[in-house]
Amino acid sequence: CDPPSDEHFRILKQFFGHASFRPMQWKIVHSVLVEQKDVCAVMATGYGKSLCYQYPGVFSDKPTVVISPLISLMEDQVMSLSVANIGACYLGSSQTQMGKVKEDLLKGKYKVVYMTPEFAEGAELLLKNLDNKVEALHLFCSLSARTFLMESSLCHVAYNCSLSASTSLSYSPCKICI
């Protein structure tokens, strides 16, 4: 793939504090941003998966939706992104300001939006409204998965965490599954 441009490096340094991408990170980001391909990436702990799904939303100025069952991780990442002046929010059962967050989301305040699978299952209208507003969005599924199937029109997740049942999303403009 093509090497990162000066603008890619500027955004990387300004918002994420890194001077360069790791080789796999750039391949993933390039596939999403430039080639507009779906990607399935399996990466070791600590290799920089978060940057792979946070960067496209910041660079393209279109929101990235991250679906994850790990609430504490999502809350920590929202806090870290906010410190880096990247608009981020979390949507799930523990969100105490749901109405305000949804309103701000549709106004374009957030670049990275984290959702629990349970919230995402009932958020089809919100995702469609968001997609229509900005023409395109990036959807990432970050799951502790034993079984994971991604199709262009269906995001079906069977995971081993607090829920034993499967969750289906009928709306899925997915770009990356990590």
Would you say residue 1 lies in a domain?
Answer: no
Helix axes 49-60, 23-33, angle to 10 degrees: 40
Which pLDDT tens digit goes with each residue over 79-91?
999 999 999 999 8
Neighbours of 17 (CB within 10 A): 8
Which pLDDT tens digit goes with each residue over 99-149?
898 889 888 899 998 988 888 888 877 777 777 665 555 666 654 433 333
Residue 9: closest CA among 34, 17, 82, 60? 17
Would you say residue 113 lies in a domain?
Answer: yes
Specify the pLDDT at position 139: 65
Of residues 159 and 68, more confidently modeled: 68
Cα torsion at 33, 51, 59, 3 (round to 10°)? -60
Based on the number of CB atoms within 10 Å of its own CB, is 146 exposed (0-12), middle (13-18) or buried (19 or more)? Answer: exposed
CB 52 within 8 A of CB 178: yes
Would you say residue 49 lies in a domain?
Answer: yes
Specify the pLDDT at position 123: 80
CATH number at residue 25: 3.40.50.300
Would you say residue 27 lies in a domain?
Answer: yes
Q: Which residues contact 154 (CB under 8 A, 6 or more apart)?
A: 168, 169, 170, 172
Number of domains in the chain: 1
Would you say residue 14 lies in a domain?
Answer: yes
| Owning domain of residue 16 | 6-177
Which pLDDT tens digit goes with each residue over 41-74?
888 888 898 999 899 999 987 888 888 888 888 9
**Residue in this structure with the two tokens 């507009």, named with its chain if needed:** 36
**How far apart (Å, rounded) are the C-alpha atoms in residues 108 and 41?**
27
Specify the pLDDT at position 39: 84
